Amino acid sequence: MNGKMKRIGVLTSGGDAPGMNAAVRAVVRTAIDNGLECIGIRRGWSGLINSDFVRLDSQSVSHIINKGGTILYTARSKEFLDREGRARAIATCKLLGLDGIVAIGGDGTFQGALALSRQVAESGQELSVVGIPATIDNDIGCSNYTIGFDTASNTAIECIDKLRDTMQSHERCSVVEVMGRRAGFLALYVGIAVGANAVLIPEREVDFQRDVVEKIQNLRLGGTTHFMIVVAEGAGSAVEIGKRIEEELGIVPRVTVLGHIQRGGAPTARDRETASRMGYEAVQCLLAGKGNRVIGTQEGGIVDMDMEEALAMTKNLQMYRYQVLEALTAKGK
């Protein structure tokens, strides 16, 4: 155990993701198990600037592993983008006697953690920062998996399965927009899982004639009378896609934008277990005197990486998944 480490803070920032509470619980209980105090920073980096905090103990994180959202709340902070804002955050850390911080969130959270780490180093203050990837978009380059993706996928699948029932009954076309920001991981994963007839993703330039019109025409010639199109929000608007389908094919589709429902709900077993392991590992990093680190998954294991190197990594969509989708919807089968 690092003798210098006595008190740490934990926060959740950016978009919420199912499993964040499980990660918070793991951080708090691992810290307590190793003789550390744990302070919850509410409302992300904004809370660190404004001294919005609460003491956390083992009891205060009881029965949260199964809850969606985050008990620490979350927010985005424009103030934290500026040196002055981060200087106030560093002052709060000093006031609270924090030796380390675990930041749980996505790319924006990590960018903030990196900026804070750099400014702390310049100031000469000792403060170790560790990041845990939690975003339903699964778009963090350094980690194969991010907390929340599995739950969001299952939520979208459940909704689309129900939509398919009514589309089949009325012989209609359904266009469903899923989240994912600028990435298509969620859309393609869900599209394969629900047997979508077409999936539009930002990683593959959309050719409307090829990707939508011809697919629907071939499916109709093959005897299919109902169609399911999944659109990643980064690939375009489902509403606009629906309008084009009506204009070019004479079909009046039903458009559904799933929106933030994908962020809610009780986390799945995978998200609870992964979040727990990541939270545990984040505290182990701090105890070992490691700062400026990001926790991630690689080949099924939990690893920690240098934050500078981790944020420079990119993640490419596995396009073979698209080939799977194409093969399973070819010629209207």
Q: Given this model, what pLDDT does residue 122 score?
A: 92
Q: Does residue 162 fall inside a structural domain?
A: yes
Q: Does residue 157 fall inside a structural domain?
A: yes
Q: Given this model, what pLDDT does residue 3 score?
A: 59
What phi, psi does 332 have (nearest 5°)?
Answer: 75, 10
Boundary-marking domain end, from 264, 292, 324: 264
Q: Does residue 58 fall inside a structural domain?
A: yes
DSSP 237-301: -HHHHHHHHHHHH---PEEEE-GGGGG-SPPPHHHHHHHHHHHHHHHHHHHTT--SEEEEEETTE
Residue-wise pLDDT tens for the chain (333 aa)?
455 899 999 999 999 999 999 999 999 999 999 999 999 999 999 999 999 999 999 999 999 999 999 999 998 899 999 999 999 999 999 999 999 999 999 999 999 999 999 999 998 888 999 999 999 999 999 999 999 999 999 999 999 999 999 988 888 899 999 999 999 999 999 999 999 999 999 999 999 999 999 999 999 998 988 999 999 999 999 999 999 999 999 999 999 999 999 999 999 999 999 999 999 999 999 999 998 999 999 988 999 999 999 999 999 888 899 999 989 886 554
Just list the catalytic residues.
137
The C-alpha atoms of residue 280 and residue 274 are separated, in whole angstroms, by 10
Boundary-marking domain end, from 234, 249, 264: 264
Q: Are 71 and 23 in contact (CB under 8 A)?
A: no
Tell me, yes or no, whether 236 and 103 share the same domain. no
Residue with structure tokens 């990093």? 285
Q: Does residue 245 fall inside a structural domain?
A: yes
Tell me, yes or no, whether 141 and 18 share the same domain. yes
In this structure, the number of other CB atoms found within 10 A of the CB of residue 326 comes to 12
Tell me, yes or no, whether 242 and 164 share the same domain. yes
Boundary-marking domain end, from 249, 264, 279: 264
Q: Does residue 170 fall inside a structural domain?
A: yes
Tell me, yes or no, whether 50 and 169 share the same domain. no
Q: Which of 106, 119, 90 is nearest to 182 (CA)?
A: 106
Q: Are 74 and 60 in contact (CB under 8 A)?
A: no
- Can you give the residue range of the structural domain that contains 111? 7-148+267-312
In this structure, the number of other CB atoms found within 10 A of the CB of residue 265 comes to 16
Tell me, yes or no, whether 35 and 103 share the same domain. yes
Tell me, yes or no, whether 243 and 283 share the same domain. no
Tell me, yes or no, whether 117 and 186 share the same domain. no
Tell me, yes or no, whether 216 and 287 share the same domain. no
Tell me, yes or no, whether 221 and 300 share the same domain. no
Whichever domain contains 41, its CATH number is 3.40.50.450
Write out the H or E segment, with its range, that includes residue 275: helix 269-287
Q: Does residue 326 fall inside a structural domain?
A: no
- The total domain count for the chain is 2
The C-alpha atoms of residue 103 and residue 286 are separated, in whole angstroms, by 12
Tell me, yes or no, whether 180 and 289 share the same domain. no
pTM: 0.94
Q: Does residue 320 fall inside a structural domain?
A: no
Whichever domain contains 174, its CATH number is 3.40.50.460
DSSP 144-193: S--BTHHHHHHHHHHHHHHHHHHHHHHT-EEEEEE--TT--HHHHHHHHH
Beta carbons within 8 Å of 209's beta carbon, 6+ residues apart:
none
The amino acid occupying position 23 is A
Tell me, yes or no, whether 127 and 65 share the same domain. yes
Q: Does residue 158 fall inside a structural domain?
A: yes
Tell me, yes or no, whether 116 and 47 share the same domain. yes
